[in-house]
Amino acid sequence: MLQASERWLADGELHARDVRRESRADYLLDLLAFEILLRATYLVHVGAQSSVHNYLRLYQALPNPVQFEIYRLALRRVGPGADVSDIPGLLSCFSRNFVALRHDYDVLGDLVDDEVARREREWIENGTPLQAPDPDYHPEALFGLTEALREHLREWLSRHD
């Protein structure tokens, strides 16, 4: 699972560098990698696979010391502009974003295609969520928590090899 998440993150980085991009795929791939890492963490600490896509529920099922360790590691990975103090809020936001970005036609509702295209152009011109001022994406917090999960899993694997 760790290797699968690494591939998704690498693909997301490649897509983020593509100046011709026309979608939010880089952020979506980052969310997918995050989910895989969270599920792997759940697997090693709870001892079972989970088919739940609710990031908050997966996180809350982890033992308290593991939750604290992930928080501690995330604090080391984020810059001063990022806030990871509200992990439940962030995880709920990431879960919503994962669904919304995969099914944006549900989120965008009755907007006509021209309006959707205009919003997409604005989003791309603003540099995608990794640079966008929209706080609902929380890109630095996503990065910090993703890196925390990666580090935690690598450490766990080194002890259980």
User: pTM for the full model?
Assistant: 0.74
Task: Note the pLDDT of residue 75.
Answer: 94
Say whether 48 sits in a helix, a strand or coil.
coil
Task: Note the pLDDT of residue 64.
Answer: 97
Return the structure tokens found at 104.
């944006």
pLDDT tens figures, 18-64: 645 555 677 888 898 999 999 999 999 999 998 888 899 999 999 99
Task: Note the pLDDT of residue 125.
Answer: 61
Task: Note the pLDDT of residue 95.
Answer: 87
Q: Helices 139-159 and 64-77 meet at what angle, rounded to 10?
A: 120
Q: Among residues 93, 28, 103, 30, which one has the least CA distance to residue 59?
A: 93
pLDDT tens figures, 73-118: 999 998 887 889 999 999 998 988 887 776 555 555 555 566 656 6
Task: Note the pLDDT of residue 96.
Answer: 82
Q: Say which residue the tokens 């980085």 belong to.
A: 13
Task: Note the pLDDT of residue 130.
Answer: 39
The DSSP secondary structure of 62-115, one letter per residue, reads: S-HHHHHHHHHHHHHHS-TT---S-HHHHHHHHHHHHHHHHTHHHHHTT--HHH
- The CATH number of 2-151 is 1.20.120
CA–CA distance, 142 with 5 (Å, rounded to integer): 14
CA–CA distance, 81 with 71 (Å, rounded to integer): 16
Task: Note the pLDDT of residue 136.
Answer: 73
Q: How far apart are the first and last CA of the chain?
A: 15
pLDDT at 70 over 90: yes
CA distances to 12, 61, 81 from 6, rounded to whole Å, are 10, 24, 25
